[in-house]
Structure 1
Amino acid sequence: MSKQPNDLKGQRFQKALEDSGLSGAEFARLLELENEQNITNWKKRGVPAYMVGEVALTLVVEREWLEGKNVPMRTEATERHPAPPAANDSSLYVLDPLELWEPDTPLQDGEIELRLYKEIELTAAPGKIGRTEIQEVTGPKLRFSGAVLSSCGVVPSNAVFATNNGNSNHPLILSGSTVAIDKGATRIIDGEIYAIDHNGHFRIKFLQRLPDGIRMKSFNSGEYADEDYNFDDILAQRIVILGRVFWWSSTRPLQGPPLI
C-alpha cells in the first residue's frame, strides 16, 4: 500500500528533526510554540502550510521536500543557510553579527526589496489648503526575507513598507515602526491589522465589519476610541484599505516613552 500524502509529510518532518539533533521540546521553544504537542502532531500529519516555510528554513531542508514533493531534501542552495542550534546548546540561541549593507549592495539569496509608501504633501494653489496623498516613493527600499513572505502567503509584488506615526497602537506598534503591507489582502478579516489611506493620511488600525460599514479599533484603546464609518462616510472621506499589515519592526530609543 502506498503512503498517504500526510504520512509522507510527517515522516519527512520527523527525519529533518532527527537530523537537526533537536528534541521536540527544544524545537517547539525555538519556534516559540506554546507546547510540544504541535511537534507531535506534525510527526503524524506533516507541518501545516502556514508554517512550512519557517520550519524548512530552521531545519535547513527544501520546503518542497518537506511538503512531500519529489525533490531532494537539500541542495547546494539549502546548505548555504545556517544550521539550527545543536541539541546540547541549552540556550538554543545563536547570535550572528549584523551585516551592514549599502543601497548598491547586491541582494543575497532569499532577499527581496520592498517599495516604500509614504504620505506626500501636495502643493496647494495660492489661497488653498494643501492636502496629503499616499504615494509610492522611488528610491528607498527595504530588504526582506522571501521565506517570511512565503510563510505569510504574500506575493512579493504585493509587498510594500511604510512608517507608522503616532501612538494609537502603542505599545504593540511603536511610533516610528516600519510596517510591511500586503496590498493583495484588502478584504476585511475581523481582528486583523490593516494599513488605511484615510483622505490622504496613512493610518494603521484593527478593522471590524459592520452591517452598514466598518469599525476602526486601536490597540491603545484607553486613549483612542473606536471609530465607526458607514458606507457614505467611507466614500465621502476617501477611506481606502491599502492592505493587511503582516510584519512590523521597531527601534527602541533610550529616551522612548514607557511601554507599560
Structure 2
Amino acid sequence: MTTQHSGDRLRAQMQQQRISNTDLAAKLDTKLQNINNWFSRGIPAGKMMAVARALGVRYEWLETGEGAAKATDPTEHPDAEPMKLWDDETPMEDDEVAVPFLREVELAAGSGRFAIEESQTATLRFGKRSLRNNGVQYEHARCVTVRGNSMLPILRDGATVGVNTGRTSFADIVDGDLYVINHNGQLRVKQLYRLPNGIRLRSFNREEHPDEDYTYREMQDENMVILGHVFWWGMYAR
C-alpha cells in the first residue's frame, strides 16, 4: 500500500532500516527538528535527492510513491531506470533524448593544458520523463565518465554520471550533493560544501583523498567552475 506523502515513506524506510532520527540528521548534516517536521509535512524538494541517497532508495519513489523503493542493481543511482539494449543504429523513441558526454581535450599535443568540450560521437539515451522527474531540462543534460578511485565505493572507475548543467551557481549549492567541476580543464566529480569564503570538495574515499578547501580567490586562480549538479549515476561505460 502506498503511503500518502514522502514523510510517511521516509518514516517507514527509517523504521525498516533501523535508522534513528539522530543518525539521519547527522548523515544529512541537518537539524533533528527538520527530520521530525518532514514526517508530518513531507520532505522539501531541495532535500529529496540527498534523503534518497542517504536511504538508498529511488528518488521518484520517495517523492511520489511510484514504482519500487529500491533499484534492482545496488551499483546504480536510486532513481536509475531499467537498462535497454540499443546501439547507434537503434531508432530514437519519441520519449527519448540522446545526452552527449563531456570530455577532457588537450589543447595542443604535449602542452599539458586541457579544456572541456562535448563529444561528437558518445551519447547516452535518457527518457524525457526521467529527466523531468529530476527537474532537468533536456538541453541541460550531459554525461561525464568518472575516473580514478576517489569516489569509491559509490562511484567506481568508469562509472557514468548524469549532470544538470542548469545548476551551476555556487550560491545554490546543496551541501553534500554531488557536482561536476571543471578544475583547470580537468573533469572532477565531488561532494560540495559551502564555506564562509569558498567551497569544500569532498571525496567518498576520504582515506586516500582528503578534503580540499578553496577560497573564492583560489577558485578563480585555478579556473574552477561548477559544470552542473549530478542527478543520476550508473555503471554504463562508453
- Counterpart in the other structure of 2:72: none
The aligned amino acid for 2:198 is: G
Task: Give the TM-score normalised by the residue count of structure 1.
Answer: 0.60
Q: Deviations over 1:3-26 (max 9, x none)?
A: xxxxxxxxxxxxxxxxxxxx338x
Relative to 1, partners in 2 of residues 1:129 and 1:152: Cα closer, same or farther, differing over 3 Å? same
* Residue 140 of structure 2 corresponds to residue 163 of structure 1: no
* Residue 171 of structure 2 corresponds to residue 193 of structure 1: no
* Residue 187 of structure 2 corresponds to residue 202 of structure 1: yes
Counterpart CA distance in 2 for 1:172 and 1:100 is 24
* SS of residue paired to 1:149: helix
* Residue 111 of structure 2 corresponds to residue 129 of structure 1: yes
CA contact (8 A) 2:2 2:65 kept: no
How far apart are 1:101 and its partner, in Å?
A: 2.0
Q: Deviations over 1:51-77 (max 9, x none)?
A: 489859749xxxxxxxxxxxxxxxxxx
The aligned amino acid for 1:151 is: N
- Counterpart in the other structure of 1:100: 85
What is the identity percentage for the equivalent residue pairs of Structure 1 and Structure 2? Answer: 40
Counterpart CA distance in 2 for 1:53 and 1:109 is 27
CA contact (8 A) 2:10 2:62 kept: no
> Which of 1 and 2 has greater Rg?
1
Matches within 5 A, 1:66-145: 99-124=84-109, 129-145=111-127
Counterpart CA distance in 2 for 1:103 and 1:54 is 33
Task: Give the TM-score normalised by the residue count of structure 2.
Answer: 0.65
How far apart are 1:148 and its partner, in Å?
A: 1.6
- Counterpart in the other structure of 1:24: 2
Task: Give the superposed CA RMSD.
Answer: 3.4
Q: Unaligned stretches of 5+ in structure 2?
A: 15-40, 49-59, 69-81
Matches within 5 A, 1:215-226: 215-226=200-211
Counterpart CA distance in 2 for 1:221 and 1:53 is 28
Counterpart CA distance in 1 for 2:236 and 2:138 is 24
CA contact (8 A) 1:169 1:218 kept: yes
Q: Unaligned stretches of 5+ in structure 1?
A: 1-22, 38-44, 60-96, 253-260
Q: Deviations over 1:83-119 (max 9, x none)?
A: xxxxxxxxxxxxxx97532213211242221011001
Counterpart CA distance in 2 for 1:171 and 1:52 is 24
Counterpart CA distance in 2 for 1:225 and 1:110 is 42
CA contact (8 A) 2:61 2:67 kept: no
* SS of residue paired to 2:162: strand
Bigger RCO (CA 8 Å, 6+ sep): 2
CA contact (8 A) 1:54 1:151 kept: no
Counterpart CA distance in 2 for 1:135 and 1:191 is 26
Counterpart CA distance in 1 for 2:157 and 2:195 is 28
* SS of residue paired to 2:132: helix
CA contact (8 A) 1:54 1:148 kept: no
- Counterpart in the other structure of 1:235: 220
